[in-house]
């Protein structure tokens, strides 16, 4: 341990949203594992994503007892993706590992991730070997989602890979340069590239508490992913429109010719009405798709920060390089200054 200060620093980034029940179990399991990794130091960056229970109080209690635990308290619930962004921005480690608080990502895998990183990988992905612990519905929808996404988008996101992974400092710095407010982390992680290695694991059921992702939230996440990385849904309307216009032209020519040859044909109320309704509906769907994108342009153009930090808690002052995102993003980092200590 002679060169302790020189040992690489690992940053564990953990978003917490109403995780009071799972919190102590989490630290109880994670800290010994991190301590067991030779020749490393670690910090645990806990982001309190506007929890309504006593998660914050418990986290602050933990950070009082252990200077390696830091707490970033956000002003409200910004959602997991924003909370992760906050944690990654705040982390100062040579390698950063986002992990869920509910222990569904096995911390036992961390030493393996670190080992691969030491062997030269810049990104070490933890891939779920199977989805046995998920419900059938979730399994089917996940499989369908990856298929649709990877079909529509140029950027392929690896299947069954969550946010649990190890990223080298270089990757994190690249990630911090991405200015978008709609943060589909899986996609952004994949977008930055770098030398990537995959490690497989079995995902455990939640240690305590319950999932914050309802079907509706997952659906929105899926839309987010597709609209963030593909303009195919937008473009497809051009082709559909062209196709229908061509059909209409052929049919129109046929009707005109028939009328000229056989005379006026009055009946046709049902067919006219059904076509009217069909194309009316189709146009509304097209408008809806365009709307999805315009809504996102609107959100991005407002340029609001992704999250706001209310307060940072840390026991002892450690030397920290100036954090924040790459120059030019001009975002509010903190409403209230860090606790002077
Ligand atoms: N989480 C968060 N903000 C939210 C929702 C979730 O920070 O708005 C955190 C949550 O505390 C957990 C992680 O994100 O650490 C994953 O959440 P969850 O286990 O509910 O998701 P699932 O495993 O069902 O996908
Ligand atoms: Mg979970």
- Report the pLDDT value the prediction gives residue 331, as an integer from 0 to 100: 41
156 by DSSP, 3-state: which?
Answer: coil
- Report the pLDDT value the prediction gives residue 250, as an integer from 0 to 100: 86
Atom of ligand 1 at shortest distance to CA of 83? Answer: 7
Residue-wise pLDDT for 142-194, tens only, equals 788 788 877 777 777 777 777 888 999 999 998 888 877 777 777 777 777 88
Beta strand pairing status for 161-168 and 95-98?
antiparallel
- Report the pLDDT value the prediction gives residue 207, as an integer from 0 to 100: 62
Q: How many CA atoms lie within 13 A of 103 on its CB side?
A: 19
Q: How far is the CA of 165 from the centre of ligand 2 (A)?
A: 15
- Report the pLDDT value the prediction gives residue 282, as an integer from 0 to 100: 81
Phi and psi of 192, rounded to 5°? -70, -20
Ligand 1 pocket mutation, candidates 46, 100, 207, criterion most atoms within 8 A of CB: 100
For 185, 238, 266, 272, 278, the CA distances from 269, given in Å and listed in that order, are 52, 29, 9, 5, 14
* pLDDT category of residue 75 using cuts at 50, 70 and 90: very high
d(CA 74, CA 186): 22
307-312-318-324 Cα dihedral, nearest 10 degrees: 20
281 pLDDT more than 70: yes
Q: How far is the CA of 104 from the centre of ligand 2 (A)?
A: 6
Closest of 20, 38, 44 to residue 97, by C-alpha? 44
Q: Which residues line ligand 1 (CB under 6 A)?
A: 15-17, 19, 49, 77, 79-80, 83, 100-102, 104, 211-213
Atom of ligand 1 at shortest distance to CA of 210? Answer: 20
Residue-wise pLDDT for 24-66, tens only, equals 888 888 999 888 888 889 999 999 998 898 888 888 888 888 8
Q: How far is the CA of 100 from the centre of ligand 2 (A)?
A: 6
Q: How far is the CA of 24 from the centre of ligand 1 (A)?
A: 16
335 pLDDT more than 70: no
Ligand 1 atom 5, closest CA: 80
d(CA 221, CA 223): 5
Q: How far is the CA of 84 from the centre of ligand 1 (A)?
A: 10
* pLDDT category of residue 285 using cuts at 50, 70 and 90: confident
Residues in the chain: 341
Phi and psi of 234, rounded to 5°? -70, -45
Dihedral sign (CA 225, 139, 157, 327): positive
Residue-wise pLDDT for 222-260, tens only, equals 787 777 777 778 878 888 888 888 888 888 888 888 888
Tokens 């659906």 locate to: 219
């Amino acid at each position: 341990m002679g060169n302790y200060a020189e040992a690489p620093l690992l940053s564990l980034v953990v978003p917490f949203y109403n995780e009071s029940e799972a919190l102590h179990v989490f630290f109880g399991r994670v800290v010994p594992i991190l301590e067991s990794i030779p020749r490393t130091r670690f910090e645990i960056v806990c982001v309190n994503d506007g929890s309504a229970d006593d998660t914050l109080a418990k986290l602050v209690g933990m950070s009082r007892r252990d200077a390696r635990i830091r707490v970033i308290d956000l002003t409200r619930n910004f959602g997991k993706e924003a909370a992760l962004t906050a944690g990654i921005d705040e982390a100062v480690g040579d390698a950063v590992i986002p992990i869920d608080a509910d222990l569904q990502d096995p911390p036992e895998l961390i030493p393996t991730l670190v080992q691969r990183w030491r062997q030269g990988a810049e990104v070490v992905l933890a891939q779920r070997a199977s989805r046995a612990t998920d419900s059938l519905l979730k399994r089917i929808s996940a499989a369908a989602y990856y298929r649709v996404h990877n079909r529509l988008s140029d950027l392929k996101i690896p299947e069954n890979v969550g946010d649990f992974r190890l990223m080298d400092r270089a990757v994190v710095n690249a990630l911090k340069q991405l200015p978008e407010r709609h943060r589909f982390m899986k996609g952004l992680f994949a977008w930055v590239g770098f030398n990537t290695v995959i490690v497989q694991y079995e995902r455990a059921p939640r240690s305590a508490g319950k999932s914050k992702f309802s079907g509706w939230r997952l659906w929105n996440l899926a839309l987010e992913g597709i609209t963030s990385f593909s303009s195919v849904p937008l473009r497809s309307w051009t082709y559909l429109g062209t196709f229908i216009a061509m059909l209409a032209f052929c049919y129109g020519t046929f009707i005109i010719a028939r009328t000229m040859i056989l005379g006026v044909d009055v009946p046709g109320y049902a067919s006219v009405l059904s076509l009217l309704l069909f194309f009316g509906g189709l146009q509304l769907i097209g408008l809806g798709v365009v709307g999805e994108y315009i809504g996102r342009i609107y959100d991005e153009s407002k340029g609001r920060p992704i999250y706001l930090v209310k307060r940072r808690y840390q026991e002892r002052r450690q030397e920290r390089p100036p954090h924040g995102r790459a120059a030019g993003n001009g975002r509010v980092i903190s409403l209230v200054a860090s606790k002077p200590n």
